[in-house]
Amino acid sequence: MDHFLYRDGALYAEDVPVSEIAAAVGTPFYVYSTATLQRHFKLFDDALDWADHLVCFAMKSLSNQAVLKVLADAGAGMDVVSGGEYARAKAAGVPGDKIVFSGVGKTADEMRQALKGGIRQFNVESEPEMAVLDRVAQDLGMVAPITVRVNPDVDAKTHAKIATGRSEDKFGIPISRAREVYAHAAKLKGLKVIGIDVHIGSQLTDLAPFEQAYGKVAELTEQLRADGHEISRLDLGGGLGIPYARSNAAPPLPSDYGALIERTLGHLDCEIEIEPGRLISGNAGLMVSKVIYVKEGEDRKFLIIDAAMNDLIRPAMYEAWHDIVPVVEATPGDAPATYDIVGPVCESGDTFTKGRAMAKVGSDDLIAFRSAGAYGAVMSSEYNSRPLIPEVLVNGDQFAVIRARPTYEEMIARDTVPEWL
């Protein structure tokens, strides 16, 4: 569910007409719904109310300060994967004891930053990382709380570029070596083992891979406890998918996911952490663009819009589908048209979709890309010297720009020409 609905033929973001935002900030832009963010967080929080738990928002999906504050105020922790994300979480008012640091390539500087600023845990992904963290913690006279990310060799049945739990993926330690690695970690004075971490991929639409992975985690928990380790926390990652088109079959609900966790891991009496990103932020955002031209090709029509692959790269990178709708609803009975929807960047890859049937639109009409709140703005760039597009937050009948579009002058001013040129 989201809060982007038609009223009297006009698309609204909560109680604000999308066309009103477009008139105020220009196109293209991202717009997020406060009510949707809050609702989706609560669905996960309620799904785990049977256990001591923390829902940590995966900031890599959307990291604007205003969005982080909305979720932090709702009670969310944060899952970060860089020093920059850690700094953003702290700037949004998230306390260190609600921040989890994930990622395969943490540097010593990032470890130092998090230990000094406060951290809930590091999800350690390799033995070399473990050695560096031990050294950094001891140099600071501190002890770093850790889980070890295990790779359960489970195929999540998702896109190859976002699968993370197979043996050939770069993430985690093979679960077959987990007992050996935990034994080594227990000997390091700068580390304190507190649990297990697992994450098998993103945009999962079936609970079966989760069940397979969590069954392996349950068995490992019993083995590690028998070996004398204190396993009090299970970090289960994120990955639950969203329907990117209204016609798609709906993925499992957070309540179903929570029931699966209780069934497979509830008997272990561990604190449960999950790290959803996409399901919280994905359907909470639109990207809105304006049609520049409708171009007649030899055997097709091209809808050329003012948004491009640098603004929303998911279709170019993942062949991703986004439902695309007109901001002014089609009149019942109007025949649809079929378009290749493309941007102005000089690459054939700057194509959002081919052969898409949708309501007929023309030059200067507005269209909206649904389910654009996750991995949209955070993956955008200024390729072709196109400014980063604004981000807007709606709350009821109010809206505010939460990231402004830079001017050309501001973009150019970031560069420095050496004196010798």
The token pair that represents 315 in the structure block: 């279709």
d(CA 324, CA 342): 12
56 is catalytic: no
Domain edge (last residue) among 244, 279, 314: 279
Among 247, 279, 311, which residue terminates a domain? 279
Given the residues 346, 357, 417, 421, the one annotated as active site:
346
pLDDT confidence of residue 245: 62
Beta sheet of 16-17, edge-to-edge order: 4-7, 10-13, 16-17
The number of beta carbons lying within 10 Å of the beta carbon of residue 14 is 19
CA end-to-end distance (rounded Å), the chain: 56
Together in a domain, 97 and 14? no
The answer to whether the CB of 339 falls within 8 A of the CB of 261 is: no
286 and 218 within one domain: no
Which 3 state secondary structure label does DSSP give 207?
Answer: coil
**In the prediction, which pLDDT does 166 show?**
41
Whether residues 232 and 287 fall in one domain: no
The helix or strand, by DSSP H or E, that contains position 86, with its residue range, turns out to be: helix 83-91
Same domain assignment for residues 259 and 305: no
The answer as to whether 421 is a domain residue is no
Within-domain flag for 19: yes
Are 289 and 187 within one domain? Answer: no
Q: What is the pLDDT of residues 40-85, one digit of tens each?
A: 999 999 999 999 999 999 999 999 999 999 999 999 999 999 999 9
What CATH number does the domain containing 209 carry?
Answer: 3.20.20.10
The one-letter code for the residue type at 194 is: I
* Residues 252 and 362 both lie in one domain: no
pLDDT over 80 at 165, yes or no: no
pLDDT value at position 162? Answer: 41
Q: Which residues pair with 337 in a beta bridge?
A: 358
Domain count, the chain: 2
The whole-angstrom separation of Cα 361 and Cα 345 is 21
Q: Whole-angstrom Cα distance, residue 398 to residue 259? A: 37
Cα 195 to its chain centre, rounded Å, is 24
97 and 219 share one domain: yes
Could you tell me if 369 and 222 lie in one domain?
A: no
pLDDT surpasses 70 at 257: yes
336 and 249 fall within a common domain: no
Q: Does residue 305 contact residue 291 with C-beta atoms inside 8 Å?
A: yes
Here the contacts of 70-75 (C-beta below 8 Å, separation 24 or greater) are 70/34, 70/37, 70/38, 70/393, 71/37, 71/38, 71/41, 71/280, 74/37, 74/38, 74/41, 74/42, 74/45, 75/41, 75/45
Fill in the amino acid letter for 103: G
Judge if 169 and 311 occupy the same domain: no
Q: Which has the closest alpha carbon to 81: 100, 62, 97?
A: 100
* Structural domain includes residue 420: no
Domain coverage including residue 192: 34-279
Directed axis angle between helix 127-139 and helix 108-117, to 10°? 50
Tens digit of pLDDT for each residue in 187-226? Answer: 999 999 999 999 887 678 888 888 999 999 999 999 999 9
Helices 208-226/178-186 angle, 10° precision: 50
**pTM recorded for the entire structure:** 0.93
- Tell me which of 230, 264, 279 is where a domain ends: 279
Same domain, 288 and 217: no
Using left for φ > 0, alpha for ψ between -120 and 50, and beta otherwise, residue 221 falls in: alpha
pLDDT in tens, 259-315: 999 999 999 999 999 999 999 999 999 999 999 999 998 899 999 999 999 999 999
